[in-house]
Amino acid sequence: MSIIRNILNQNSRSEEGGNFFIQIKKILGFKPKDISIFQTAFTHRSMNKRDENGNPINYERLEFIGDAMLSSIIATHLYNEVPFGNEGYLTKMRSKIVSREHLNELGKEIGLINYVKSKIEKDNFGDNIHGNLFEALVGAIYLDRGYRYCEKFIYNKVIIPHVDIPKLEGKIISYKSLLIEWCQKEKKTFKYQVYEDNGNDDVKHFSVKLHIDDKIVAKGRATSKKKAEETASKRAFFVFQRKISKSILS
């Protein structure tokens, strides 16, 4: 039986692409059982692939599972490692670890975009593609190998190299959220105002003025309104850093 199984596995690998199997094995640190799950984890919706029942084949559903597994495993680690942390503290710490920014960094670090199949040029993807692929990969590991292998992968790729509790405590994942929290606590008025951008860039940019107590305290400019607001918030944070740290971060 083992000989027949090996022959079938070898045939499967040659049909699905031996090089992809080798690369995925190298990333995971163990052999995948069903390589087709991992192929789905790297298939973009632009490929318009469907199964025999007409259901779409791409990584988006695997993202859903990967997100849940990351949350569960990181939550368990924090629960065990930080016995003094209450629910609010643990939630904040988990959010910092599984933030979109951090997941994007993890996806880039592993080079996952190099394996994606898409009809869109890689240069035209936004940063979130890296985090999406990372979540999809975690989801594929869970479906292919189960919880323990998924946990092992997250420990090796996320927790051991990147989770430093003292550093995470001081990490700010959203300057806008922090600034709004401070304004609300100190009963200050705030407003983000989008104004006309007359720049000559090929890509459209948004410019934002941040008003606090009816005074312009910072400006931000970026390729999206959300990013421009975050830039303005970060600049405002450094203007009020001492006051915010005393009020919110201490």
User: Does 197 participate in catalysis according to the annotation?
Assistant: no
Residues facing 190 on adjacent strands: 212
Residue 82: its H or E element: none
Where helices occur in the chain by DSSP H, the ranges are 2-16, 18-28, 35-41, 60-81, 87-97, 100-110, 128-145, 147-154, 160-162, 165-169, 175-185, 225-239, 241-244
Query: Whole-angstrom Cα distance, residue 24 to residue 185?
Result: 48
Identify whether 67 is a catalytic site residue: yes
Q: How far apart are CA 232 and CA 219, in angstroms?
A: 5
- 135 neighbors 57 (Cβ within 8 angstroms): no
Task: Look at the alpha carbons of 64, 126, 172, 176 in this order and tell me if their dihedral is positive or negative.
Answer: negative
For 217, counting Cβ atoms within 10 Å of its Cβ (0-12 exposed, 13-18 middle, 19+ buried), the class is: middle
Q: Which residue of the set 63, 127, 135, 201 is catalytic?
A: 135
DSSP characters for 131-160?
HHHHHHHHHHHHHHH-HHHHHHHHIIIIIH
Nearest to 212 by CA among 238, 243, 179: 179
50, β-bridge pairs: 56
The C-alpha atoms of residue 141 and residue 182 are separated, in whole angstroms, by 41
Q: Name the catalytic one among 63, 67, 151, 230.
A: 67
Q: Which active-site residues does the annotation give?
A: 67, 135
